[in-house]
Chains A and B, each alone.
Chain A
Amino acid sequence: MVTVDTAERATETRPRRRRGIRQTRGYRVFQVVNAIVLTLVVLVTLYPFVNIVARSMSEEAYIIAGQVNLVPRGFNLDTYRLVMSDSMFWTNYRNTVVYTVAATVISIVMTTCYAYVLSKKHLKGRSALVGIAVFTMFFSGGLIPNYVLVTSLGLKNSVWAIALPNAINVFNLLVMKAFFESLPVELEEAAAVDGLNTYGILLRIVLPLSKAIVATMVLFYAVAFWNSWFAAFLYMDRQELWPVTVYLRNLIAGATGAENVGAIAEANEVQAEATLKAVTIVLTTLPILLVYPFVQRYFVRGIMLGAVKG
């Protein structure tokens, strides 16, 4: 076996090592300082989240008065109820999930294929292929030509309009290519000697070793597609096709009321703007936040350690 799950071994060996090496005083001081600093970092980064959650459950008046910090004041879930009672909200939420999953799968497949090919130094015309990709990083066709292209390909009002034009993110592509290049050539040579063809090498050797980068890419792509609204806004002409980001963005615009002049909303259903913003943030970030812990275990460095002897 060439692959070894070093992540597991690392957790096994750590306590043993700690027992073996005596900690110096300086090291202990370092640990304490480290703990304090990191705790502060955690608090600082956590505070905005907690604050947003608290705001989302507070009364507008307290938010405007600047009295909401960590605990909701004037606790109520009216805004949640208001947003979630609309069936269009759920339709659009489902769209977001569908678009994100479909677009992420497509992106991962395309990016992996392109990056793997580019990582092969013996490939003829490799630099031209890299050049084509990098070119699109700096020059784009522009909004209207893109729109005309997508429309005349008949992609409008379908998930393909969102998934295909953005399938390959060049930055992600380059990161992935660098990762593949760092894989030891010997592994693939050994696999070839054992009789695997190119696809076998990619699917059975390279990809299992690349869980870390694939997980990272899934996360990058999924977050990007989850948050994106612009493509859907451009190419979707019916509200039942919009993702939830467009829905909520529109909701906030309606509550801000620039277009509303004279139309005074009913007092009993005033969509409290400050609360609404917080609710929006909570509802859109929550699912993607929940994905993080599951993906995180793949972010393990040094996965290649000991795979090759030589």
Chain B
Amino acid sequence: MSRRPWRRVATAAAALLAATSIAACSDDPSDAQDLSENRVGAMAEYAAGTQFKATEPLSFSVLYNNHPNYPLKNDWLFWSELTSRTNVTLDPVAVPLSDYNQKRSLLIGAGDAPLLIPKTYPPDVNTFVSSGAILPVSDYLDLMPNLKDKIEKWNLKPEIDTLRQEDGKFYLLPGLHEKPWHDYSLAVRTDIMQELNLEVPKTWDDLYTVLKAMKAKYPDVYPFSDRWSQPNPAGNLLNLLAVSYGLEGAGWNFQHVSWDPEAKKFEYTGATEKYKQMLQYLNKLVAEKLLDPESFTQTDDVARQKLANGKSFVISANAQAVVNDYRPDLARNANAKIAKIPLPVGPAGEINPASRLENGMMISSKARDSKNFVAMMQFVDWLWYSDAGQEFAKWGVEGTTFTKDAAGKHTLAPDVNVIGLNPDAPKHLQKDFGFYNGVFAYGGTPELVQAFFSPEEQEFQQVMNARTPKLPPPPYPLRDEEREQVSLWETPLRDHVYQATLQFILGQRDFAQWDAYLAELKSKNMDAYMETVTKAYDRYQQANG
């Protein structure tokens, strides 16, 4: 695949552009606040709970992530109803979902980006900030009463702070969840557990017992054979374990640093005692032939094949994989049953590791010069952050796509289908109406987020919601030159952690050599890395208390 070089070129060009455009940008905050020229079409009295309606017809361009399951249609009720409610027409630039990020980088780099750039995950923002092409939205929160209201009501300040850049501002309007929503865990063949009279494992140690019992009954199989090992080994399993042991993340959510709340300092994740313990746990599973050593290298298809053929009973999962992959795969075995189990609990206790921030929206800094800027911010605030806007984006129009009873409980209209809720209905909420669209509908209250979940998944969420949400680490925004320096250290460090992780787990390296491994990390600038992070953390603390 030749995608990476392109991306690198794009980033480099974006950086180049940054150098040229930075001179044109003004950092004077008073200048940022003078909005008298930008109020055309805006509502004079707009507050949380107000229905936004522009005083004249307006149109804003938006980057549109075109999902193949509900391809963009111009005659969707979503568009027409949006215009009649808000007087705003959205002008979508359609990008295939398969390569959305690449096109986004290109358009921003070329200065050709639409005003609204949704579907952006928090770390992706960092590459664009220095270019000056993205608006520091934190300067304009006063235009967004619903957003401010939700941040306050749901105590989201610590999460929002993690978005802040070195200048103390943030550049992304994130999707907000009232409660964390955690999806990934393990799926277990429940019929095998029943056969062996086993309880659903609650902790990682319980899981060990369960695997041990499975192995005793079926000595020829590796009871646990995992997927999601491309391109990095055991992406999901390592991450689940890391968060269960109180680290920020590992595997496909590789985090170089973790916050130690007791010592009140950052530590290098791969060098912590907790990381060592979780490797020892995995090493035990491998050594006793409970975990397939191929788990760390095989492709998803091979892992699914093993599960389908009864060569394994436990595998990494999310709600979708269980329904779309494992159950169809196992369909030919009438007895086989598989279900996602609540995330096993580790030394960190009963926590819900999911972040309450979702992917969100960047706004092109070109928008600031528009005479409709204020109206646009109010519009964004209404559609993405107001209760009415979120309900509209997800459920549609009352009486047409859903009904609401006196208690406020939503029910899908009988002739409308989504996620198989009304399988025989002639129309589809996403395909035919354009609602519940990933570009416009995400986050919100648990009732809204979980509205279309299956009873099984709602039960899973109930267990997870009863657990304590994990606090985000404090921010340590890096300066541009620091980020550059740090990214040079990151690759060798990450590669070495991966390599050693595999060696320790698979028993190719003895844990007696842990100190030698730490020394190797040091020789790859681990200490300098931590020093930079700590410095940035201290700096932020001093500036923002």
Q: Please list the residues of chain A having a beta carbon within 8 angstroms of any beta carbon in chain B.
A: 60-61, 64-66, 86, 88, 142-145, 147-148, 151, 233-234, 237-239, 242, 246-247, 249-255, 257, 259-268, 270-272, 274
Contacts and interface: CB of A to CB of B under 8 A. Distances in A.
A49 to B, nearest CB: 20
A239 B94 contact: yes
8 contacts: A61-B328, A64-B304, A147-B106, A151-B110, A247-B68, A260-B69, A265-B324, A267-B420
A264 B112 contact: no
A257 B95 CA distance: 16
B103 interface: yes
B157 interface: no
Contacts of B110: 144, 147-148, 151
Contacts of A148: 110-112
For the complex of A and B, the 5 pairs showing the least CB-CB separation, nearest first, are: A253-B98, A254-B68, A250-B96, A144-B13, A266-B420
Given A144-B106, A267-B420, A151 B112 contact: yes
Given A254-B97, A265-B419, 9 more contacts: A143-B6, A148-B110, A151-B112, A233-B103, A253-B98, A261-B318, A262-B319, A263-B69, A270-B328
Given A239-B71, A251-B68, A264-B320, A246 B96 contact: yes
Interface string B347-374: 0000000000000000000000000000
B188 to A, nearest CB: 19
B332 interface: yes
Given A61-B331, A253-B98, A266-B417, A260 B301 contact: no
A255 B321 CA distance: 11
A267 to B, nearest CB: 6
Contacts of B109: 143-144
A178 B110 CA distance: 39
A233 B69 contact: no
Contacts of B328: 60-61, 270, 272
Given A61-B328, A252-B98, A264 B69 contact: no
A153 to B, nearest CB: 13
Interface string B174-206: 000000010100000000000000000000000
A267 B323 contact: yes
A166 B511 CA distance: 56
Interface in B356-398: none
Nearest to B304: A64
A309 B59 CA distance: 74
B99 interface: yes
Contacts of B319: 262, 264
A260 B436 CA distance: 12
B329 interface: yes
B323 A249 contact: no
A91 to B, nearest CB: 11
A233 B103 CA distance: 8
Nearest to B8: A143
A264 B323 contact: yes
Contacts of A268: 420, 423
B308 A239 contact: no
With most chain A CB atoms within 10 A of its CB, the pick from B6, B65, B454 is: B6
A264 B460 CA distance: 15
B232 interface: no
A137 to B, nearest CB: 16
A64 B308 contact: yes
Contacts of A233: 96, 99, 103
B14 to A, nearest CB: 8
A254 B69 contact: yes
Contacts of A142: 9, 13
Contact of A250 (B97, B111, B454): B97
Given A249-B96, A262-B319, A143 B9 contact: yes
Given A151-B112, A239-B71, A143 B13 contact: yes
Given A64-B305, A239-B66, A252-B98, A270 B438 contact: no
Contacts of A261: 183, 318, 320
Interface in B29-79: 65-69, 71-72
A130 B285 CA distance: 63
A264 B453 CA distance: 8
Interface in B258-307: 301, 304-305
Contacts of B423: 266, 268
A250 B6 CA distance: 19
B320 A253 contact: no
A65 B305 contact: yes
Contacts of A263: 69, 320, 419, 436, 438
B10 interface: yes
A240 B258 CA distance: 47
A39 B94 CA distance: 48
A161 to B, nearest CB: 14
B309 interface: yes
A259 B67 contact: yes
Contacts of A267: 323, 420
